[in-house]
Structure formats: structure tokens, C-alpha cells
Structure 1
């Protein structure tokens, strides 16, 4: 178990680097990774199931312990990111496909990577997890709704089609994971229950590998598009991501949210479930192939920028604590 814990720690700490390395490999030599995109929905479902198995029923009690911060975080996420995405797409007059892709990213819930980044930043991890759970629960309604409102001028959007997709690849796997965790937890004294508990430490590693695999496949299938439009979209994605984190911090400052909680909220707002954005583009907007590109690049970028942001907040936190001790 110590070995598994050590491996999990390495994956958590260097997840961004693994994503970057495999993305570069997939970009240079895409052929071995092309099969992955056909199974995007399944892979994302596996990652979400893994997330579900790490959630216990008692974790939902956190939702009642800090409703103010969770509400601030989720409202900020489902307003700042969609509206900034729409503003960027409009101001830069992006093509229909790219604008749709940017809006899809902006309308998605928080990603599980935000929990790892919050941990690195010494932020409030339980709050981060609670916000991810909450935004994911509301995603089947809010994601299609926002996309319908913001992208309707670009293309016909099927609200119910997107609703069904989000339910199938996000909500159902997470609920199944929570259910399995609950049932096994109740029978932890049995052989099957104990074996599951022993193996549960592997699930975050499997989820991380699944996300790395998924992003690699996305990059591989979009390698030509990245050459053509990658620099533009990288700039757009970077601005979008930076605006999310900085405006998240600004909202927290205005509402006087304390440091570790504001760190968690800013990271949660800025880091989206871009895998969902790619899945929605792949399954619901087949006629707009370039719509997958912003999600693909965001998947790589936000892990890198999130790690940099975490390092800054962590060092700033240490400075604050040092000043408090001196005073």
C-alpha cells in the first residue's frame, strides 16, 4: 500500500508534466494515439467513475458546512467562465468552430484536476472537492443552457441532446462510483469489501492515466489543426484560463473570503472539465470538427498554468504565515 500511495503522490505532483510529455509525443507521432478519440466518452466516464469512488456519502455534509463559499465558487464558475469565453470569441471574431469550442469549455463544470492543484497550492481541498461535486451535479442543466444561450447565434444547439450527453458521461458514472463506494464501505468487514478498500488507492491513479490517455488522443487527432490554428487558440485559452483564476480571486477579495478558501475558489473557477467540452464537441457537433481544438489545448494548458498558480499561492501563503509569526 505504501508503494501505491507513493505512486499516487508522484502522479498528483507531476500530473501536469506527464500530460505535457505525452501530449508532445502524441503531437509528434499521432498514429499510435488515434484510436483513443473513438472512445472519448467511455474514457471520460471511467475517469468520472474513479472520481465517484473517492467520494463518500458523508462528504456531502461538507456542502452544508460551507454553503457560502460553495455558492460563491459555483456562481463565479458558471458566470465568469461562460461570459469570458463568449466575450473573447466575439471580440476576436473567431470562426464558428473555434468560437463554439471556446464557449463549450467555458460552460463546463470544474475538473477534478483542480482538487490536485488546490492541494499543491495549500488551499482548502475539501472546499475544492465540494465545489467540483456541486458544479458537476448542476452541469447537466447549466452546461447545455449556457451553450444554448451563448452559441445559438453560431449554430443550432440541441439542449436535450447535450443534456443527455452530460448525464451519460458525467453524472451517471459519478453516481455509480459513489454507490459502489457506499455498498463496499458497508461490507468492509467482508473479503470483497476489504479487497476493494485495498485497491481503492489505485483508482485515482487509473483516473489520472485515463485523463492523460484522453488528452493524448485529443492532441493526436488534432495535430494538423494545432499546426494551423494552435497558436491562436493557445493565446485564447491562456487568456480565458487566466481571467477565470484572477476574476475568481477578485470576487473572493470583494466578498472577503479567507486565503485558503479563495485559493480553492480561484483554481476551481479557472480549471474546467475540458474533457467534457471535447466529448460534447465530438458527440453533439460532428459538423464542426475544429470545436474540439480549444478543449484539447485547454486540457494541457490549465494543468501547466494551474501548477504555476499553485506555486505562487503556496509561496505567498508561506510568506503570510511567516509575517503572522513575526508579528
Structure 2
């Protein structure tokens, strides 16, 4: 049952969600992202360098189990995904930027994730591990779950723009319900298998929440400091706040054969959709009240 869900139902559901988001995008949105590359370069820096650095500093001086510490670096080294795209869509951020960041990050982690995890293993455990992420399945996921559905949605919008505009509002609710269903099922499967105990939550949750909130604020401040624009700044913040926990669990369990590391990802995934949406909303309100309203007064 778990394999059936992971292999077929989950990718299909995520592809449907990405297709729905594609209906709100136009080709000029992506052209703008690459014509003015500062926001995407800032997002890549925040996701690939700043977030792991925050994780190292956050847990490096704690008395957490060494493998728990490595688990934090593992989750920080993972890319964003469909959840960050949906939160950005719901908060009316720069969806084209968020989708581009998710796609590029998913490819870059083939090189950066093994590097960061091995540094963490050397520092916290005193060992190293050979990690080979599956290139073909990563490319397949980016292509079939993100690129093709988004492109299809954009084509439909180009062909039937009025219909796409009418579908935007109801699809926001439908896609949110679909993703929440996916979260519930994934967490159920993961928690059944990992059996995270109450003690794990007590030990890990405060640090996981600190990583989530701290990295989002840092990503937002970097975006604002580098003048990427208000909308792009909270979009980058959302992308930094949500990680691909399923990938972290796969690496911990299948490649590193360590369940303790996987528990960090299970706990992190149990709340970050909601906390990221809330913090993203607060940042958006801050931007609106601080800059937009004052400018119009």
C-alpha cells in the first residue's frame, strides 16, 4: 500500500497541483525571472548556502544526539517543492520564481546534499559516507511532476485565458485540500514507519521550529537587503521555509541506513506547511503595511 501511494498516487497528485498552478502563469512570467536574474540568484544563495549554514550554527552547539544534528543538516540541504509552490500561489507571491527555484534546487542538490551531509558527519560523528543520489529519478521528478504539468497549465491559459482566470479561485481551495491530504497520508506512513516518540518531539521540535522561522526571516532579509523586491523577498522566504522531507527520509533510511536522522524530517514535515504559510503571510502583511500603504499615503 505504501509503495503504491509513493510510486503512483503521490506523484500524480503533485502533478495535478502543479498543473493547476500553471493555469495562473504566463510565459512572460518566466522570461522576467531570467531576464532579471537577481531574485533567482538570491533565492539560490538563500536555499543552497544560507539555510544549511543556519542549520550548522543552530544545532552545532547543542547537546542533541550527533545523528540528530546530521538530520538537521540533511533536511536543510534538501530543496523546496510542491508545498512551497502552493503556499506562494496562495499568498500571491512570485510563482514563476518559486517554481524556477524548486526546479533548479532539485538538480543542484545532486552535488550539494552529499557535500553538506558529509561535512556534518565529519564534524558531529567523525565519519563520512558515500552518497549517490539517483540522477535519473530526480530528473524524472522535475520533468514529470513540475515542468510538464506547469507547462501544460500555461498552454491552457494561453489557449483559454478566460476559462483559466475563472478556475483560479476554486482551484486554490481544491489544490490546498489535495496537498493537505497528501501531507496527512505521508505523515501517517512516515510516523508509522519511523515511530517518532513524544520524547523525540520534545527534543527536536523547538530546534526544528527555530530553523523554520529563523531561515524564513533570514531569507526575507537577504532578499530585501539585495533589493529583489517585496514580492520576491517573501517568495524566497517561503521557498527557504519548506523542504522536501520525503527526500530527506529516503536519504537517511535508504542511503545512510539511519532511522535517527529520518526522525528529524518526519517531525519537520509535520508542521512546516502551516508555520511557513503563517510566517509567509505575516511577512507579506509587513511588506504591504510598511511599504505599499505608506507609499500611497
Identify the TM-score tier after normalising by the shorter chain: 0.7 to 0.9
Give the TM-score normalised by the residue count of structure 2: 0.78
Unpaired runs of at least 5, structure 1: 1-34, 188-197
Residue-by-residue CA offset, 1:274-315 (whole Å, 9 max, x unaligned): 2211121121122x2121111111112211211221231233
Query: Structure 2 vs 1, CA of residues 282 and 57 (structure 1 numbering), >3 Å: closer, same or farther?
Result: farther
Tell me which residue corresponds to 2:197. Answer: 226
Give runs of aligned pairs for residues 175-324 of structure 1, distance below 5 A: 175-177=143-145, 178-179=147-148, 209-223=181-195, 225-286=196-257, 288-319=258-289, 320-324=291-295
Q: 1:123 aligns with which of 76, 83, 93?
A: 93
* Aligned mates of 2:236, 2:210 — CA distance in 1: 18
CA-CA distance at 1:167 after TM superposition: 4.4
Measure, in 1, the Cα distance between the counterparts of 2:225 and 2:292.
Answer: 22
CA pair 87-260 structure 1, distance change in 2 beyond 3 A? same
Aligned residues: 275
| Normalised TM-score (structure 1) | 0.71
Cα deviation digits, residues 80-130 of structure 1 (max 9, x gap): 221222223321132133122111101001122122222333322222222
Matched, 1:91 2:61: yes
Q: Matched residues in 1 for 2:191 and 2:231: separation?
A: 34
- CA RMSD across the alignment: 3.3
Q: Which runs of 5+ in 2 are unaligned?
A: 157-166
Are the structure 2 counterparts of residues 270 and 203 from structure 1 closer, same or farther at C-alpha, using a change threshold of 3 Å? closer
Query: What is the distance in 2 between the residues matched to 1:91 and 1:176?
Result: 41
Residue deviations 1:150-173 (CA, integer Å, cap 9, x gap): 32442432232xx22x642x3312
The 1-side partners of 2:94 and 2:73 are apart by 28
